[in-house]
Amino acid sequence: MSYQSALLSRPGAVEAAGLDAGVAAHYGDPMREQRALAEGRAVVDLSQRGVVTVGGADRLSWLTTLSSQDVSRLAPGDSAELLLLSVQGRIEFDARIIDDGATAWLLVEAPEAAGLAAWLTSMKFMLRVEVADVSADWGVLAATAPLLQGVEPALLVWRDPWPEVAVGGYSYSIEAGHPGADRPWVEYLVPLPLLDAVAADLPLAGSLAAEALRIAAWRPRWGAETDEKTIPHELDLLRTAVHLAKGCYKGQETVARVHNLGHPPRRLVFLQLDGSQHTMPVAGSPVQLGERQVGTLTSVAQHYEMGPIGLAVVKRNVDPAAELTVLDGTEAYVAAQELIVTTDAGQVVGRQKGFLKPVR
């Protein structure tokens, strides 16, 4: 049986679909909920998410050897993001990690959890690690403010590092005032039997509100912005999820080669969509430059201030000043693009410094 959140019994709840199936898309007033979430007055139910635990004395050094991130010195309560890549450097898993001193907790999208647990289990060998998929027991409540501090029992909290450039990371954006700075984001690990009690009388926002704020912050999401060919550079994920100076891991050759000598073949862009049609295209719609398809709309939302917005992955050489069109069947939506990943991202060897943010 598919997951159904206890909070779907709250008045006005309308269930979401896709990656957010099992929780509420909204509770009757999406724009009001979105404003409350943005202003730090509401929590959003993300209890459909997957949770994988890694226990044992070797857990952090082991995860460091397997992933794109160095979490070997992750202190209890600290947060990070890591990627597990294919040999070709393509994103297979994107995990948010927090350690409690004895166990590393990996927060992932629901479709990732079983595969991630199975793959990690296959890589244990003789190391002192224990892997478990605990998605049936644990969920997530999220907010833009510490609304659940002081809850008993105390909850582990993952703090999104986006859009800061993590130690060992690199930014492919030239944006001085990154919009992600306006979206502090925290995710609380909650035992599912306590979900309703922990949410208590706090105002609730649906997943539509969370998605709108994520898109406005240029934050990529596994299963939305990613496909079977995605490499981290295309989504500006070297910023938070890749340590360029750490040791060998699967996919590192591609990460290093593209960053130092090449360019990512595609790039993530933010789209401001024409709102005069009072409708929105669906995610997956082709993005056109004239008669030529140059990309795909990956996420779309109605923002409470900006109107219809979206994220798209387009070919690297698309003119960043060009007006694009999103086609949904016979409907065409004019879209202005904003650079997230620059057109000359990568190829940093020999480049003069000062344009992009380097490793620190």
In order along its 360 residues, the chain shows pLDDT tens digits of 699 999 999 999 999 999 999 999 999 999 999 999 999 999 999 999 999 999 999 999 999 999 999 999 999 999 999 999 999 999 999 999 999 999 999 999 999 999 999 999 999 988 899 999 999 999 999 999 999 988 878 999 999 999 999 999 999 997 688 999 999 999 999 999 999 999 999 999 999 999 999 999 999 999 999 999 999 999 999 999 999 999 899 999 999 999 999 999 999 999 999 988 889 999 999 999 999 999 999 999 999 999 999 999 999 999 999 999 999 999 999 999 999 999 999 999 866 554 444 444
Tokens for 112, please give them.
């990732």
Domains 6-216 and 265-340 share a fold: no
Strands (E), the chain: 14-15, 24-26, 43-45, 50-55, 79-85, 91-99, 103-108, 130-133, 138-143, 157-159, 186-191, 204-205, 266-273, 286-289, 292-303, 307-315, 324-328, 331-339
Residues with Cβ within 8 Å of residue 329, at least 6 apart in sequence? none
How many Cβ atoms from other residues are within 10 Å of residue 229's Cβ?
13
| Confidence (pLDDT) at 1 | 65
| Confidence (pLDDT) at 352 | 53
| Confidence (pLDDT) at 210 | 98
pTM over 0.85: yes
Q: Determine the Cα–Cα distance for residues 187 and 44; give it in Å rounded to an integer.
A: 9
Residue type, 19: L
| Confidence (pLDDT) at 83 | 98
DSSP-assigned letters across all residues of 30-58: HHHHHHHHHTT--EEE-TTSEEEEEESTT
CATH topology of domain 265-340: Elongation Factor Tu (Ef-tu); domain 3 (2.40.30)
Residues with Cβ within 8 Å of residue 197, at least 6 apart in sequence? none
**What are the C-alpha distances in Å from 57 to residues 73, 102, 125, 197, 303?**
13, 8, 14, 33, 45
Tokens for 64, please give them.
């460091």
| Confidence (pLDDT) at 354 | 44
Is CATH 3.20.20.100 correct for 6-216?
A: no
H/E stretch holding 65 reads helix 59-66
Is there a contact between 262 and 344 (Cβ–Cβ < 8 Å)? no
| Confidence (pLDDT) at 358 | 46
Q: Is the peptide bond before 153 cis (omega within 30 degrees of 0)?
A: yes
The domains of the chain are located at 6-216, 265-340
| Confidence (pLDDT) at 291 | 94
